[in-house]
Amino acid sequence: MGTSLSAIDAAMAVVSQHGDFVEDADDTVAFALLPGSADLRITLMSRTGILPEANFYCPIPYEPLVCATAHAVAAEMAQGSAGLLDRCFHLFAKEIVLADSWWAAMIARGTQRR
């Protein structure tokens, strides 16, 4: 278990060295090979024939966090342990909204209190 996700991580590391992901005005993402990398071919295989969904893109190197920074977490810790997890989770949730507000709204639908 987990090897398919590791394979996706490895493939992303290799392709990032051989090209760039380019986003169009309509949010379509394409992969553009660098000169000299035209022969690059990657095949992912799975024992069961099923690979995990890879419908996201994470830039390498990682972009710095905006909300859940070390400074922000340290400030929350300085307020004491009561409610610390909730406060830090709120920072994490804000980070997700900034990264992908549509997806954040979709997953929040299942967490609304009734």
pLDDT digits (tens, 9 = 90+) for 53-70: 655 566 667 788 999 999
pLDDT digits (tens, 9 = 90+) for 75-85: 999 999 999 99
Would the pLDDT of 114 be above 80? Answer: no
Phi, psi of 23 (to 5 degrees): -100, 130
Give this prediction's pTM: 0.48
> Structure tokens of 65?
């966090």
User: Where does the pLDDT of residue 113 fall: very low under 50, low under 70, confident under 90, or very high at 90 and above?
Assistant: very low
For helices 84-99 and 70-78, give the axis angle rounded to 10 degrees: 160
pLDDT of residue 92: 92
